[in-house]
Amino acid sequence: LLVEIACLITDRPKAFVVERAQAANIPVYAATLKAFESREAWEEAVVAYLEPYTVDYIVLAGFMRILKKPLLSAYPNRIINIHPSYLPAFPGKNGIKDAYEAGVSETGVTVFYVDEGIDTGKMIAQEKIAIDPEWTIAHLAYAVHAVEHRLYTQVLQQIQKEFSGKEEINDI
């Protein structure tokens, strides 16, 4: 996969991923939302930070915020996220727990383009996971995360192949 990580953006400056990025010499922008007057102001600062980079796509991972107009307008149909359920079932921050507690026989993983809603953007790829009735929630989480890691990588590889006019894409 010929993807250059341009930088890491996080609203959790103490997250372990910050240390990992710094160890790999990846620039980091880490600022809490509380440091800004609004979420939109935080996003405007992110857009300004990204301006000198050539960012083709923003790839979210573990980012549990609803994006607003500043980022969505600056990167239309170029922000990708992953969700631990077979959307539209079980949107929101507790997809695995919600599926487990609902007692459904299957759930899944969804990769999608972010829009202004909660897990409502155009779907890129989905994969179902059969739930063994003997599983604990930990078993289900393990199965979902394994599919997430594989499916996200496959989707990003496919997007790279389809990306016209460039040998590589840059993401955050």
- What residues are labeled active site? 83
Rounded Cα distance, 110 and 122, in Å: 10
Residue 57 per-residue DSSP state:
B
Q: Are strands 106-113 and 123-130 parallel, antiparallel or unpaired?
A: antiparallel
What amino acid occupies position 82? Answer: I
Q: 2 is written with which tokens?
A: 């010929």
Q: 96 is written with which tokens?
A: 């695995």
CA-angle at 145, arms to 64 and 16, nearest 5°: 55
Q: 123 is written with which tokens?
A: 């779907």
